[in-house]
């Protein structure tokens, strides 16, 4: 039996403030809290023991995040085109790239003296590299520099977030030398094809399909994963994806490097994805390939490398905080500011993508804004 203890309201308010959760009254209001889908309650305890505060983590289905978070907090997290926080002079466009987007100058990466639409967005003092990139152009020179960049930065896994539809309607034509069947074929997927140039080669040699695992339904019949939109796995749902392993060799280097290309192929452009399903997908890949995804050098790209890429990298930073048991010294705001400063001020322009990160942060007791960080 659950009973509300009156003097627990101060504790609730302090936790609300820490997380950045909206509380317009400052008082415990059971009905309004319930409507927010974040239900606070206390367990009955023996006398002379303090009540234990619990939170039922069921806010993932909240569509209107303004029911949970104040406008003041949201303004610190959402993209603001006119924000004075980011100096336009710190960003530039990159020649011969897919989109004319202004990227951070100081973190842009070069390959053989050629500037790429790729930034090193690694957190300061991190032992692991995180790279945010555009989807490379499908011409031989661009792919040569791209594969050299992966090799030189010792990237272990590349997360490709562009959907099959995105890639299908790509109009940059592949080189006939490594797409012998049709040099004008739509939907060229560089990560599953063999590639060679004057100084680097990529050979595809293995593949896993994580969309075909069997799920047993309530009636005993097996059902499809449906990109995680099934009613069986609940909080363990994951996205459809495929993994390709390529072996890279570079002229003048004795070492050969195996790179994993994880293609999450049903995430449509300009949309958000459930952050919990995305985390489950990352965890599934780690389990099946016996790796720790948060402890290796990675590169991430969708098309422009701003929206889906931003949501993915921000989520992985929060996953690192959870793994380290340290969710109080960094906020979601600090993660987003870092990405906008070191990648592009246009990272995560869509509110829906930020909303998914907000819900994940609240569910895992991660502060939303810098005001709530505990300084050590």
Report residue 210's pLDDT band, with 50, 70 and 90 as the boundaries: confident
Lowest mean pLDDT among 222-226, 299-303, 340-344: 222-226
* CB of 301 closer than 8 Å to CB of 160: yes
> pLDDT at position 343, please?
99
> pLDDT at position 182, please?
45
* CB of 344 closer than 8 Å to CB of 306: yes
**Does 225 score more than 80 pLDDT?**
no
Taking only the tens place, the pLDDT of each residue in 97-150 is 999 999 999 999 999 999 999 999 999 999 999 999 999 998 899 999 999 999
CA distance 207 to 261: 9
Fold of 88-372: 3.90.190
**Does 178 score more than 90 pLDDT?**
no
Taking only the tens place, the pLDDT of each residue in 254-306 is 999 999 999 999 999 999 999 999 999 999 999 999 999 999 999 999 999 99
pTM over 0.85: no
Question: Could you tell me the two tokens for 204?
Answer: 């595809």
For residue 354, give every residue at least 6 positions away whose Cβ sits within 8 Å of its Cβ, in sequence order, or none: 77, 78, 79, 336, 348
Q: What does the domain layout of the chain look like in residue ranges?
A: 6-57, 88-372
Lowest mean pLDDT among 2-6, 234-238, 339-343: 2-6
């Amino acid at each position: 039996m659950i009973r509300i203890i009156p003097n627990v309201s101060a504790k609730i308010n302090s936790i609300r403030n820490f997380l950045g959760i909206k509380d317009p009254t400052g008082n415990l209001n059971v009905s309004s809290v319930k409507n927010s889908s974040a239900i606070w309650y206390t367990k009955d305890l023996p006398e002379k023991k303090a009540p234990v505060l619990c939170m039922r983590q069921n806010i993932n289905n909240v569509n209107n995040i303004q029911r949970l978070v104040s406008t003041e907090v949201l303004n610190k997290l959402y993209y603001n085109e006119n924000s004075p926080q980011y100096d336009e002079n710190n960003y530039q466009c990159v020649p011969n790239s897919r989109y004319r987007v202004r990227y951070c100058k100081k973190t842009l990466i070069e390959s053989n003296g050629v500037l790429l639409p790729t930034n090193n967005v690694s957190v300061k003092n991190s032992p692991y590299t995180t790279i945010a990139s555009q989807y490379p152009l499908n011409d031989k020179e661009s792919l040569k520099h791209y594969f050299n960049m992966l090799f030189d930065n010792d990237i272990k896994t590349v997360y490709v977030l562009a959907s099959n539809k995105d890639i299908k309607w790509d109009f940059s034509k592949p080189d006939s030398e490594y797409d012998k069947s049709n040099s004008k074929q739509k939907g060229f997927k560089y990560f599953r094809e063999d590639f060679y140039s004057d100084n680097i080669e990529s050979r595809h040699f293995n593949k896993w399909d994580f969309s075909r695992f069997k799920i047993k339904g309530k009636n005993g019949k097996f059902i499809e994963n449906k990109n995680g939109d099934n009613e069986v796995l609940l909080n363990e749902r994951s996205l459809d994806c495929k993994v390709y392993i390529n072996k890279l060799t570079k002229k003048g280097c004795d070492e050969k490097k195996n790179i994993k290309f994880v293609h999450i192929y049903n995430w449509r452009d300009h949309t958000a994805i459930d952050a919990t399903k995305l985390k489950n997908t990352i965890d599934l890949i780690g389990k099946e390939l016996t790796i720790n995804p948060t402890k290796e050098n990675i590169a991430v790209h969708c098309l422009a490398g701003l929206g889906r890429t931003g949501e993915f990298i921000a989520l992985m930073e929060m996953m690192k905080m959870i793994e380290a048991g340290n969710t109080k010294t960094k906020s979601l705001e600090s993660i987003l500011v870092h990405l906008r400063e070191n990648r592009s001020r246009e990272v995560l322009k869509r509110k829906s993508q930020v909303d998914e990160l907000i819900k994940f942060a609240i569910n895992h007791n991660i502060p939303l804004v810098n005001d709530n960080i505990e300084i050590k």
